[in-house]
Amino acid sequence: MLNRLRKEIDEIDTQLLALFERRMDVSKQVGAYKKERNLPVLVPEREQMVIKSRMEATNNPAYKDLVADFFNDVMTLSRRLQQQNMPVVPKSVPQTEILRAGYLGRPGSYSEEALYDLFPNTKEAIPADSFSAVLNLLTENKVDVCVLPVENTSTGNIEDVMDLVHSHGWYITAETTVSIRHALAAPTGAALADIRQIYSHPQGFLQCADFLGTLENIEKIPLASTADSALSVSESGDVTKAAIVSPRGAKLYGLTVLKENIQSVNTNTTRFIAVSKNMTAPSEADVVSIVFTLPHESGSLYEALSIFSKNSLNIIYIQSRPYPGRQFEYRFFVDFAGHVDDPNVQKTLEELRDHTVEMRVLGCYPSAREH
């Protein structure tokens, strides 16, 4: 019985192998087409559509999740094959003047401050209420660039942002840092003892945890941004409500500052990135951002990181993120000092690509960090 079943599996595998080789041949042709037209290898919307359609096409609903895993693996291998024939560094375009930019929150938010720090001549700043919504502005060509927070010195990485940037196949073109000085602000006539509800972005609550711990009988209400919180409290006119907001935001929405500098760390700083559909690599750029996925094997991370050490390149940032749909597998986002035009950097990237399941350059831009 077992021998018969094994023979049947061998026959099926023979058919699968022929179909797999045929699929890889077609995938190589797709890669050549993309290379000729400077198109990205990763097209998330296409992959999601394929997986969904294959799950719907299965005759056995019990296999839906397995079908999704199977085609996810097949497309990962297809991307890997296509990338082997692509330049390790994507073609860059000259920087252009930014006329429209998207950001999180509303006027008075720290994201808006970062936007004007990066692009002081922006003609139109368009707010959105979530990271996904900000990036959708770029998808819909309503803006030329998006500005998003990625890291805070007191609370660490801001989850999901890098995942979203990578999943869209876009590029980081600039970065800046903004000093975060939180204040507790309320409608005119309020006193600290009156406050029963405090509104803020979740990061605001985290960054002011020590101060909030000194207050009693306080309800914390999260909103999309600190500026949204200030607007909500201002419109309520309720002296029992307060917002965690920048002093600039408090003034903009007519609130009275009850307590300044309530952040737990006085050197509290948030790093913001600018995201565009096109890769730029200005001559003054001194940091390269990449993302890669490693084979699920012992020592693979050590081997990948040792490539940077061997080539005397300084890693200045690393973040691991769960690989969607795979248990206990991770993507790694890495920033290192250098420029993509440097032959040593190109050599490093080529070596790294050989040691990874997939690797992509996310950007080359002037750093706002010391390294």
Secondary structure (3-state) at 91: coil
Residue 272: DSSP 8-state: E
Three-state DSSP class for residue 329: coil
Pairing of the two strands 197-200 and 219-222: parallel
- Alpha carbons 128 and 137: distance in angstroms, whole number: 8
Torsion (CA) 121, 127, 131, 135 in degrees, nearest 10: -60
Interatomic CA distance for residues 306 and 187, integer angstroms: 56
Closest-CA residue to 285 (of 179, 170, 362)? 362
Catalytic choice (270, 280, 293, 356): 270
* Length of the chain measured in residues: 371
Round to whole Å and give the CA distance between 120 and 208: 29
Is 270 one of the catalytic residues? yes
Q: Which member of 71, 119, 131, 272 is catalytic?
A: 272
Widest CA span in the chain: 85
Distance of CA 1 to the CA centre of its chain: 52
Contact between 147 and 273 (Cβ < 8 Å): yes
Question: Does residue 139 carry a catalytic annotation?
Answer: no
Type of residue numbered 311: N
Residues 6+ apart with CB under 8 A from 323: 293, 329, 330, 331
Q: Are 171 and 215 in contact (CB under 8 A)?
A: no
Q: Catalytic positions, please?
A: 270, 272
